[in-house]
């Protein structure tokens, strides 16, 4: 399950920010996950609690913000929302899509003490 390794990375980011900004505890971690990122939000929630134990993020709430997939259609020159890779443009039916969003996973914000 690669979500466990991803959660370890999240905790590393939180701990690095704690060293930089000198906060004592994390209350909420806001995590942005793109619809096309191949990350399962439910698995992240499950793994986060285990990985956060005995760290500055122990007991922190994980808030996941899911972002839609986005692409630029080269045929009709429009920005479009897509639900999965390799689907046609919902506007013109072309498969000439350049991904522009929805592949990312990032820590968006921390609520700290």
Considering the domain boundaries, does residue 18 fall inside one? yes
Considering the domain boundaries, does residue 59 fall inside one? yes
**3-class secondary structure, 17:** helix
pLDDT of 1 strictly over 80: no
pTM attached to this predicted model: 0.84
Query: Mean pLDDT in the chain?
Result: 95
Considering the domain boundaries, does residue 34 fall inside one? yes
Write out pLDDT tens, residues 4-53.
999 999 999 999 999 999 999 999 999 999 999 999 999 999 999 999 99
- Cα 79 to its chain centre, rounded Å, is 21
Among 67, 81, 73, 75, which Cα is nearest to 39's?
A: 67
Q: What is the pLDDT of residue 107?
A: 97
Domain count, the chain: 1
Q: Which domain holds residue 41?
A: 2-68+102-112
- pLDDT exceeding 70 applies to what percent of the chain? 99
Considering the domain boundaries, does residue 62 fall inside one? yes
Considering the domain boundaries, does residue 57 fall inside one? yes
Q: Give Cβ neighbours of residue 91 (< 8 Å, ≥ 6 apart).
A: 73, 76, 78, 80
């Amino acid at each position: 399950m690669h979500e466990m390794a991803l959660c370890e990375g999240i905790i590393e980011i939180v701990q690095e920010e704690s060293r930089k900004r000198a906060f004592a505890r994390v209350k909420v971690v806001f995590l942005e996950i793109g619809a096309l990122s191949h990350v399962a939000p439910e698995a992240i929630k499950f793994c986060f609690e285990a990985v956060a134990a005995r760290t500055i993020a122990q007991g922190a709430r994980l808030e996941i913000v899911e972002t839609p997939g986005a692409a630029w259609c080269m045929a009709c020159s429009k920005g479009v929302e897509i639900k999965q890779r390799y689907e046609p443009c919902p506007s013109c039916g072309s498969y000439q899509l350049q991904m522009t969003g929805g592949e990312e996973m990032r820590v968006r914000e921390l609520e700290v003490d």
